[in-house]
Amino acid sequence: MDCFEIKGGSRLEGEIEVHSAKNSVLPILAGAVLINGETVIHNCPELSDVKVTVDILKSLGAKVKKENKTLIIDAQNINCSEISCDMMRSLRSSILFLGALLSRMKEAKLSFPGGCDIGLRPIDLHLYAIETLGYSCKISQSGIECFNKGAKSADIYLDFPSVGATENAILSSVFLSGKTKIINAAREPEIEDLINFLNEAGADIRIVSPSVIEINGVQNLYSCSHRVIPDRIEAVTFMCCAAITSGDLLIKNVNLSHIKPNLPQFYEMGCKLTAGENSIRIKAPKKLKRVREIQTGAYPLFPTDTQSIITSPLCLADGKSKIIENIFENRFKHIGELKKFGADIICSDSRVAVISGVEKLHSAKANCTDLRGGAAVLIASLAAEGTSLINNIHHIDRGYERIEESLNSIGADITRIKNEEQEEKN
């Protein structure tokens, strides 16, 4: 597997552009299954999770073409309702094909999804939504089999505003006659992007109040083109890179309202932020200040995906910061890796971490434990004195498009060492 060699210590300065959102494009690609025609996705990020999702679409019978960064999916000939176990296990969002296939093929046979190992990640809310709509589901050790035997619109009350369950509820109800209501639906910007995409194709979906979504069933969806929203998590990742290197970055292609839940912490760290039309400039101080307490929560609260990422600059802040993870049970695996750089972090349990800022970080040989945990380790290495080596970077490649190229363009010194080169060195 590839790894990164990072010469740390450079101040990051200049302009950097955010790619389109991974967590938007993946549900939208599943949504392409519903379209009896062509879906054109502009500015599609080049990520390994997108590649696997395209492979799933092809295995179902869709034709997929890539022209530069535009992806064209022709789903007219989709003729299969089963997805191989390998592809299902490669990522979490593969479960969204459950709702999409039920709408399109009236049946779906899937194994359980994979994704980052950050907690139990059950799918009970997905299945509850689908069964509430009247689909029949059989669950066994090998997976899930669902059929449409008289499914119809219904009110779905989610106990927790799960992102994936909301997306599956939408995808499985687009063609059901009457009005489906999702109550306590997730409010993440990626949900709105999926709704906008489906409406562009002819669906009738409305966000009627902040956490209620109404789907009026339509008979067909038609060819459409869509530009995916900017990746808010990548934007915050770049802000953390600036913060930890006392940098000065103009980050372009940013939707400011989407990153609003993250801005108070950068102010508290002492960063100077200047908003542009679709951009943000961050100027970090020489010494960061601690953030008293961060608690993750469902949007519009502090996003769990940025919890691990912000831990890295806090390792160098003046004072103690506390992070409480409320969404996932096991999202502190990166902390063991950050300690290899000399960070002082104590986890009193699997949900609470206290970070005591240290004067400096030193180079280390560390691992990516998951996608955002991997980003946290990379951010720490940017400030660490000396040359660090980061393994298992396939986790980072799942959600960041060639991140080393983006960061090197603003002053980082990161080399991707290909698997073959490593073998030669050994």
Out of 120, 210, 277, 349, the only residue in the binding site for ligand UD1 (CB under 6 A) is 120
Binding residue (CB under 6 A) for ligand UD1 from 16, 19, 23, 342: 23
Residue 251 makes contact with ligand UD1 by CB under 6 A: no
H or E element at residue 198 = helix 189-200
Minimum distance from residue 257 beta carbon to ligand UD1 (Å): 17
Which residues have a Cβ under 8 Å from the Cβ of 117 and sit 6 or more positions away?
Answer: 330, 333, 369, 370
Judged by CB under 6 A, the residue of 14, 58, 122, 204 near ligand UD1 is 122
Q: How far is the CB of 164 from ligand UD1 (least distance, A)?
A: 3
Can residue 121 be called a binding residue for ligand UD1 (CB under 6 A)?
yes
User: Known catalytic residue: 116?
Assistant: yes
- Is 165 one of the binding residues for ligand UD1 (CB under 6 A)? yes
Q: Which of 37, 61, 119, 217 binds ligand UD1 (CB under 6 A)?
A: 119
Task: Pick the closest to residue 21 from 296, 209, 299 (CA basis).
Answer: 299
Contact indicator for 285, 271 with CB cutoff of 8 Å: yes
Sequence letter at residue 420:
E
Residue 208 found at the interface with ligand UD1 (CB under 6 A) = no
319 binds ligand UD1 (CB under 6 A): no
DSSP annotation of 150 reads S
- CA–chain centroid gap for 50, Å, is 11
Nearer to ligand UD1, 163 or 284 (CB): 163
> What is the closest distance, in whole angstroms, from the C-beta atom of residue 95 to ligand UD1 in the complex?
8
- State the catalytic residue, choosing from 116, 146, 240, 271: 116
Site string for ligand UD1, 123-142 (x = CB under 6 A): xxxx----------------
Minimum distance of ligand UD1 from residue 296's CB (angstroms): 8
CA separation for the pair 111, 83 (Å, rounded):
8
Tokens for 110, please give them.
């899937």
Cis peptide before 300 (omega within 30 of 0): yes
- From the list 100-108, 162-170, 285-293, 348-356, the region that binds ligand UD1 by CB under 6 A is 162-170
**Hey, which bits of 370-413 come out as E strands?**
386-391
217 touching ligand UD1, by CB under 6 A? no
| 25 forms part of the interface with ligand UD1 (CB under 6 A) | no
Stretch that binds ligand UD1, among 156-164, 308-316, 355-363, 415-423 (CB under 6 A): 156-164
**In angstroms, what CA-CA distances link 405 with 230, 282, 410, 416?**
18, 20, 9, 10
**Using the rule CB under 6 A, is 383 a contact of ligand UD1?**
no
* Burial class of residue 100, CB neighbours in 10 A (0-12, 13-18, 19+): buried
Q: How far is the CB of 376 from ligand UD1 (least distance, A)?
A: 14
Closest among 92, 84, 21 to 55, alpha carbons compared: 84
- For position 327 contacting ligand UD1 by CB under 6 A, the verdict is yes
Other Cβ atoms closer than 10 A to 150 = 8
SS3 223: coil
Please classify residue 257 by burial: count the beta carbons closer than 10 Å to its beta carbon, then call 0-12 exposed, 13-18 middle and 19+ buried: exposed
Interface with ligand UD1, residue 334, by CB under 6 A? no
91 within 8 A of 69, measured Cβ to Cβ: no
Of all residues in this chain, which one has the CB nearest to ligand UD1 in the complex? 164
Q: Of 4, 175, 197, 328, which lies in the binding site for ligand UD1, with binding defined by CB under 6 A?
A: 328
> Could you tell me how many helices (H) and strands (E) the chain has, helices first?
16, 23
Residue 240 beta carbon to ligand UD1: minimum distance, rounded to whole angstroms = 16
Instruction: Compare residues 284 and 323 and give the one whose CB is closer to ligand UD1.
Output: 323
Tell me how far apart the alpha carbons of residues 109 and 145 are, in angstroms, rounded to a whole number. 4
Q: Which of residues 95-114 bind ligand UD1 (CB under 6 A)?
A: none
Output the smallest distance, CB 384 to ligand UD1, in A.
26
- For residue 281, the surrounding DSSP H or E stretch is strand 279-283
- Identify any residues that bridge with 8 across adjacent strands, giving them in sequence order: 386
Interaction of residue 157 with ligand UD1, rule CB under 6 A? no
Q: Which of 237, 262, 265, 304 binds ligand UD1 (CB under 6 A)?
A: 304
Beta carbon of residue 232, minimum distance to ligand UD1 (angstroms, whole number):
11
Of 93 and 172, nearer to ligand UD1 (C-beta) is 93
Cβ 315 vs Cβ 357: under 8 Å: yes
Tokens of 363: 């180079």
Q: Which residues are catalytic?
A: 116
Could you list the residues that contact ligand UD1 (CB under 6 A)? 23, 26, 92-93, 119-126, 160, 162-165, 186, 304-305, 327-328
